[in-house]
Amino acid sequence: MIRFISDLHLNPAEPATTDAFLRFLDGPAHECETLWILGDLFEYWAGDDDLENPFNAQMADALRAVADSGVDIRVIVGNRDFLLGPVFAERAGVSIVAEPYPIELGGTPAILMHGDSLCTDDLPYMQFRAMVRNPAWQAQFLAQPLAVRRKIAEDLRAKSEMAKQEKDVGIMDVNAGAVERAFHDSGAAVLIHGHTHRPARHELNVDGRACQRWVLADWHGKAQWLEWNGSALSAQKEQ
């Protein structure tokens, strides 16, 4: 069994979602051979020294307990937690891998992404993303004290919420050309991603091949996941 989750946006101000995550780790996560976290596990991540925050440490340790029981937990970072790094990975017992990440589902080639890189119509975000994904920029950012970084991240969250209210909802979805390119460049027939908070299964044709794009749900107090049971993908949620 492989399960895929994303967009939990964990933070102490959302205890219902935190509880749902802990329930998920105690139950459904243990049934997985591999658990994939496709980005935005945390509301934001200001650097691995953010493990000083007891909430973040508790989340990492909860993941570690599942990893220690034999589940292979793999993480693709999101636009909120792209600064998750090796210290977090070690503590949580997870592997952080680059996107797009190729896997096979019953012999069918698939790729996994967070999904933000597909939103190419959102030009202000694309500019912002290019800046913060630059290693030199990240090194400079991480050189600042944790308290300063946390403040910047929180200010930025507020700015992002304001910016989104002014954006046309259409530009915040994936761009059809970017999706086609992802299928074309990888040769995959299945793409699984999160980010847009528009859970769905889309059927499309690329290069004469039938392709499927699965979009994961964001969490609001209930666990939601996509599941590969060895023969099919299906969206699931806790009752």
Residue 176 phi, psi dihedral angles, 5° rounding: -60, -40
SS3 28: helix
Interacting residues with Mn ion between 168 and 207 (CB under 5 A): 195
Strands, sheet with 209-215, edge to edge from the N-terminal-most edge strand: 101-105, 108-112, 190-193, 209-215, 200-206
CB of 198 to ligand LP5, least distance (A): 11
Site string for ligand LP5, 171-200 (x = CB under 6 A): -x----------------------------
Residue 99 or residue 116: which is nearer to ligand LP5 going by CB?
Answer: 116
- The residue from 146, 163, 204, 235 that contacts ligand LP5 (CB under 6 A) is 163
Residue-by-residue DSSP string for 91-152: HHT-EE--SSEEEEETTEEEEE--SGGG-TT-HHHHHHHHHHT-HHHHHHHHTS-HHHHHHH
Residue 199 C-beta-side C-alpha neighbours within 13 Å: 15
CB of 84 to ligand LP5, least distance (A): 10
Q: Which does 132 bind (CB under 5 to 8 A by kind): ligand LP5, Mn ion, none?
A: ligand LP5
Residue 173 or residue 228: which is nearer to ligand LP5 going by CB?
Answer: 173
Instruction: Catalog residues that contact ligand LP5 under the rule CB under 6 A.
Output: 44, 46, 79-80, 83, 116, 119, 122, 124-125, 128, 132, 152-153, 156-157, 159-161, 163-164, 167, 172
